[in-house]
Amino acid sequence: MGKVSVGLRGWRFEESEIFTDSEEFKPLEEIPEDPRQRLLRLSRLIEQPCDACYLIHGEADKQRCNQSAFVYGEPMDEVVVCTDHEPAFVYWYQNAGGSDLRGKPEFADAFHQWFADGNRAPEGFGGVDHVETDPEALPDPPSPEELQQRLEADYERSEIDLREYLDEPTEPDTEAISDEELGELDLDTSYPTDE
């Protein structure tokens, strides 16, 4: 088995980590953490508009945005672009400092700023040559709703007592105010306001 993209090109998965021998998606709990996180994030990104199109058209004209075809970066700090804008992203990454930000939190914002400032790939600059061996042989990815249901089914809520991590255990302050102290409070005090 080799590496494959699922849903969007860019992020590549080791087939053996996400598919069973019968070429179906493994249950989420059997998928290692990093690919599982990427798959779950992909379930949200598949329907997203291209970041570059969105920067051009904005929320008011969102229907003019192309649907994303590629994802680059790390989950929650990724860039999603359409086929038309992938060359701009690749150029930024290869020639305008993008590769220096790989894995850093400012990765996506830096590309967005570069693009919003009017920068583009030079004419004739191509994107990445993606190889399609047999896309029909891959199973369809689960829908975002199905992935969310799987995640919720596998999620166990737990409570953490942060007091366990303090150097000195403390007891909650349950001391009530005495009637004498309460009598000394001036509840009629006027406080200044902006009005």
In this predicted structure, what is the pLDDT of residue 125? 85
Contacts of 89 (CB under 8 A, 6+ apart): 52, 70, 72, 79, 81, 98, 111, 127
37: pLDDT strictly greater than 80? yes
50: pLDDT strictly greater than 90? yes
In this predicted structure, what is the pLDDT of residue 107? 96
Distance CA 77, CA 123 (A): 28
Orientation angle between helical segments 107-116 and 86-95, nearest 10 degrees: 110
Instruction: Please name the helix (run of DSSP H) or strand (run of DSSP E) that holds residue 4, with its range, or none.
Output: strand 3-6
In this predicted structure, what is the pLDDT of residue 11? 93
6, 27 in Cβ contact below 8 A?
A: no
**pTM for the full predicted model:** 0.65
Query: Three-state SS for 187?
Result: coil
193: pLDDT strictly greater than 70? no
Distance CA 79, CA 102 (A): 12
In this predicted structure, what is the pLDDT of residue 4? 87
80, 48 in Cβ contact below 8 A?
A: yes
43: pLDDT confidence band, cut at 50, 70 and 90?
confident
Supply the mean pLDDT for the chain: 81
The DSSP line for 162-177 is GGGGSSS------PPP
